[in-house]
Amino acid sequence: MELLRILGEGLARNRLLAVILAGFALFPIYTGIADLPFWNDLAMRIMILGMAAMGLNLVLGYGGMVSFGHAAFVGIGAYAVGISQFYGLDNGWIHVLISLFACGVLGLVIGFLSLRTTGIYFIMITLAFAQMLYFLFVSLEQFGGDDGMSIDRADFMPIDLWEPLRLYYLIWVALLLTSLFLMVIVRSRFGVVLEAIRSNESRVEAMGLVPLRFKITGYVISAMICGLAGTMFASWQEYVSPDIMHWTRSGELMIIIILGGIGTLAGPLLGAVAFLLLEEWLPELMLLVAPAYAENWMIIFGPVLIAVVLFARGGLGGLIRRIAGGG
């Protein structure tokens, strides 16, 4: 079948992505043997954040649109689960559909209103929309307001998420599908035009194409991927609050992308691995080295980030590719 051929060829061209996905698939075997269940939990968080970052990367890296509000879509995805359950709708598959739909519509509206601007104006408008949504959920008392709402692991019949590793592999499959989907579209004519728009919008117009149409489509797709990550996040954390939509969360997604390698498929995933491991280990490291400053682990994190941006062009992915020689 043609799709299989396209997927196979795509994975062969994106070995790093294939390796990372395989690594996540096999990771629970290691944690099972080593008896480190905590690490599964961290791996799930990495996959979810990585998925959201991959979604943002479609517009940020490939399309060159610096959207500073994508955490809002992750939040909408998570709240789609919480609010559905609040009204007695427990089916996880339906939550996924609702969140994809909601994020798609919201992405369309926000994209339509903001993509006519560029540069700093676009950054500010997307940030403004995200902040509006953030404060909307802070003010919605029936859904917990500031305190958020607790969520039950969704009912993904016939999968029982309470069985060990079921949630892990549900998240993994979502990540896999997202990765394959993005892998296909970034190489397609659509993806190529999106990159052409980033390179030179006026040339794309001169070819008779309407850049806005491609940008909005990319924006909607990326919003929906972030929404999917949000629904996974809801089942993983079993809780959602407006904090998930805070602008610092949007910033985190951008940092993850830059850290791992902007405009590449594997970059956001690598970035999520690095970001969450640093977040996990740096405080402990600080506790050993300079206990008084343990809470200020960001003091180390900042310079690490700057070093990556300055010295590892193409982020960690670029570094790995250079070390591995091509690939």
Partner 1 sequence: MIAPVLSLEGLNKSYGALQATRDVSLDVVAGEIHALIGPNGAGKTTLVRQIYGSEAPDSGTVRLHGATVNHLSVPQRVRNGIGRSFQISNVLMEFTVLENAMVAEAARRGEAFRFLRPAFTDRGLRDGAMAILARVGIEARGKTRVADLAHGERRLLEFALALAGDPALLLLDEPMAGAGPEETRHMIEIIERLRGEVAILLIEHDMDAVFRLADRVTVLVEGAVIASGTPDAISGDAAVRAAYLGGDDDVEA
User: What gap in Å lies between CA 232 and CA 276, rounded to an integer?
Assistant: 17
How many Cβ atoms from other residues are within 10 Å of residue 129's Cβ? 20
Provide the minimum distance between the beta carbon of 271 and partner 1 in the complex, in angstroms, as a whole number: 22
Distance in Å, CB of 25 to partner 1, minimum: 25
Nearer to partner 1, 66 or 94 (CB): 66
- Of residues 85 and 179, the one with the C-beta less far from partner 1: 179
Least Å distance between CB 17 and partner 1? Answer: 15
Determine the Cα–Cα distance for residues 145 and 197; give it in Å rounded to an integer.
40
Shortest spacing between CB 318 and partner 1, in angstroms: 15
**Based on CB atoms, which residue is closest to partner 1, 77 or 191?**
191
The total of other beta-carbon atoms located within 10 Å of residue 313's CB is 11
Query: How far is Cα 202 from Cα 266, in angstroms, rounded to an integer?
Result: 29
C-alpha radius of gyration, the chain, whole number:
20
Q: What is the nearest approach in angstroms of partner 1 to the Cβ of residue 106?
A: 21
Which of 81, 7, 45, 67 minimizes the C-alpha distance to 222? 67
Nearer to partner 1, 10 or 230 (CB): 10
Nearer to partner 1, 185 or 266 (CB): 185
111 contacts: CB under 8 Å, gap ≥ 6: 215, 216, 219, 220, 223
CA 241 to CA 260: how far, in whole Å? Answer: 27
Q: Which residues bind partner 1 (CB under 8 A)?
A: 2-3, 6, 9-10, 184-185, 187-193, 195-196, 199-200, 202-210, 213-214, 217
Cβ neighbors of 217 (< 8 A, separation 6 or more) are 190
CB of 4 to partner 1, least distance (A): 12
Looking up tokens 């070390």 gives 323
User: Of 192 and 304, which CB lies nearer to partner 1 in the complex structure?
Assistant: 192
Contact (CB, 8 A) for 126 and 69: yes
